[in-house]
Structure 1
Amino acid sequence: MTYNLTVSPDFAPDHISGWYFFNTWLQRQLDTGIHLELYDCFDEQRKDIKADKFDLIYANPYDASMLVRELGFTAIARPAGKSDETVIAVNADSAFQTVEDLATGSRVATTDDPDVHTMGMIMLESADLDKSNVELSEQASYIVVAKKLLNGDAEAGFFLKEAYDELSDLIRSKMRVLVSSQISVVHHSLLVGPRMADQVPALQHCLLSMQDTEKGKGVLESMDFDGWEPMDSEQTEFMIDLIDTLID
């Protein structure tokens, strides 16, 4: 049987090859076929997820709720030492020094990354701003969000902090962070679907020992991971409840 794996589209383009290396490594560890399918946008991926196309998903925290509570997936691991934080940035020459300086009618560049967009909107609330009084424009990637700021086409932009930090030194030197979230318990997770449930013990074992071999360590480096940490149902439910609270 061949299983299907997909990855939340918000990883940096530099790590595309890393996920292919991971997929090859995983097939050899489990001695089973796994097909990797990557997407450019969340909506298209979500349609295929709901159509029951995938068995293994590296998911953003926003989608974890749907996967666990509606589709019967189980979170088994998370990347070690990584959390999903959001930053709001402006052009380095901007007069804005804090989020509260942003005014009604401000143009805000965002992406279709659901948890980052949600967190960014929550952080705007301190300036009494919401979707009714700012001009939101959805961009294809964080690089395009940065271009909007640099070209003066937006006053502020939302970024996944990890994606912001991976922008080139030149681009980051032309921007400035107004605020960064500090939630720490919100993160991407690797989730296993019902068809692959019998593989969970073997899957967890090989993931948690991945950094112990030269080959596994090399694959982790190509993904920009230090390793994996186990996740249990209590941790998963806590994160999902927090995300659901933020969205509501």
Structure 2
Amino acid sequence: MNMAVKFSIEPVTGQDFHYNLVGSIDAHASETLNTLYDIPAESHVLLDFSQVERVNSMGLSLLLKLFEIWESKRIKIEVQHLDRMISMLFKITGLGRFIKDGKAGPATPASTANPEPPRHIEAKIAATTSTPASTASDKLNFVASLQTGQQLTGWYLLNTYLQRRLKQAIHFEQANDVLNPNFTDLLFAKPFEACQMINNHGYIPVMRPITDTDEVVILTRADDDRALADYPNAIVATASKDSFVYLLGRFLCDENDLDSEQLQFDFSGNEIKALQMLIRKKADLVFMLKKAYDGLSSFSRNSVRLLDESRTEFAHHLFCVAPHLTGHISELSNVLGDMVQDEQGKQILVDIQMQGWQKPEEEAMAMLQMVYRRYAG
């Protein structure tokens, strides 16, 4: 690990339990943070984040665990000098109450700190006790929520690849707005969609894309030179209200002093239609996946301007299996994980715009589930 970002804790001279945090708070910070567990009960702890370069989902999980221990010991916790992105992460995960004196922006009212949540739970989906979509001897149904439209051919190729490696007939479909547990055996889903299927229907997360998080960009037209804060009452086009993109986009606006409650949202159904609305001047802003923005044609890229983007390293698409396929998890994990080892697998990964697959980290899954329950539960 680069020494410039290695995490350390520096006590502030003459101040009891006042610490400067330095570097990156991630999985490697665990041992260092453990030194703070022994702070006496009913103390007052102040953590300064001015020298923190980044906090990822693993780091947030470690901080949550530490803060829970401190609160059980009636320790007063304050944090200060967070940058805008770390402040946003704190607010999304419910840690915003610890921010001191509004140094990273005040603990904003619920109307802006907690925008109206996506409502997957309102979908009319059958109960988990329904008959499984298939048995191990039948054709499996594979449903995928694509990250970009250019991936579709690659996903059909992946379906064929899985059929050959698993020696199992598999039918592939692109996801519709509402996922049906009575139909879906294998699922590649957006973060909140996956959480909904995990929580409500017992689906099991098996793999996630390597180094691939769902980050969000906010775009305007190329000929519009206003800053994000200068779009009060703007019309915002985005694919879906039931989306992590919608949630993160609203947080980005609120962190730029643009009240997202005053925005007018037009849910286009997909990101290409949302982009077309912007270019045709039927919308002022667009929220979309950064990966989709990165894949735009040169014409589309030249027609828009990037106003802001998230750097949360927080949410992943997840490859899940239905609960009746528990016995196939190991085999499926091996097939996906080994794609980087053969030429055909590597080419399919290129087609679906992935570096490969890895097992989801327990801490990161717990963090995603916590956010899902807070905003969509």
SS at match of 2:201: coil
Output the CA distance in 2 between the equivalents of 1:200 and 1:108: 40
Are 2:211 and 1:81 equivalent residues in the alignment?
yes
Output the CA distance in 2 between the equivalents of 1:24 and 1:179: 38
SS at match of 1:137: strand
Counterpart of 1:224 in structure 2: which amino acid? Q
Percent of aligned positions that are identical = 27
Output the CA distance in 2 between the equivalents of 1:231 and 1:7: 17
Taking a change above 3 Å as real, the CA distance of residues 129 and 116 of structure 1, as seen in their structure-2 partners, is: same
Q: Spell out the pairing of 1:233-244 with structure 2 (5 A cutoff).
A: 233-244=362-373
1:76·1:232 contact (CA, 8 Å) conserved in 2? no
Q: CA deviation at 1:111?
A: 0.9
Deviations 1:39-94 (A, max 9, x none): 3x423xx2x23xx2111100110112211111111111111111100111101111
Residue in 1 aligned with 2:274? 145
2:219·2:285 contact (CA, 8 Å) conserved in 1? yes
Question: Which of residues 158, 169, 174 is equivalent to 1:22?
Answer: 158
Q: CA deviation at 1:12?
A: 2.0
User: TM-score if structure 2 supplies the norm length?
Assistant: 0.60
Counterpart of 2:184 in structure 1: which amino acid? F
Question: Which of residues 227, 238, 254 is equivalent to 1:110?
Answer: 238
Residue in 1 aligned with 2:53? none
Output the CA distance in 1 between the equivalents of 2:153 and 2:290: 21
Are 2:245 and 1:123 equivalent residues in the alignment?
no
Taking a change above 3 Å as real, the CA distance of residues 69 and 233 of structure 1, as seen in their structure-2 partners, is: farther
Deviations 1:92-151 (A, max 9, x none): 111312x22221x211111116111121122222334234x2221111322222222222
Are 2:196 and 1:66 equivalent residues in the alignment?
yes
- For these two proteins, the number of residue pairs brought into alignment is 238
Give every structure 1 segment of 4 or more consecutive aligned residues whose post-TM-superposition deviation is greater than 6 Å. Answer: none
Are 2:137 and 1:7 equivalent residues in the alignment?
no
Counterpart of 2:267 in structure 1: which amino acid? E
Of stretches 11-20 and 232-241 in structure 1, the one that deviates more from structure 2 is 232-241
Residue in 2 aligned with 1:172? 301
1:17·1:222 contact (CA, 8 Å) conserved in 2? yes
Output the CA distance in 2 between the equivalents of 1:87 and 1:25: 33
SS at match of 2:281: coil
Computed over aligned residues only, the root mean square deviation of the Cα atoms, in angstroms, reads: 1.8
Residue in 1 aligned with 2:45? none
Q: CA deviation at 1:175?
A: 0.8
Larger Rg: 2
1:73·1:193 contact (CA, 8 Å) conserved in 2? yes
SS at match of 1:70: helix
Residue in 1 aligned with 2:171? 35
1:67·1:73 contact (CA, 8 Å) conserved in 2? yes
Are 2:316 and 1:187 equivalent residues in the alignment?
yes
Output the CA distance in 1 between the equivalents of 2:371 and 2:311: 13
Counterpart of 1:83 in structure 2: which amino acid? T
Deviations 1:166-205 (A, max 9, x none): 1111111121111101110211010111121110011111
SS at match of 2:260: coil
Are 2:291 and 1:155 equivalent residues in the alignment?
no
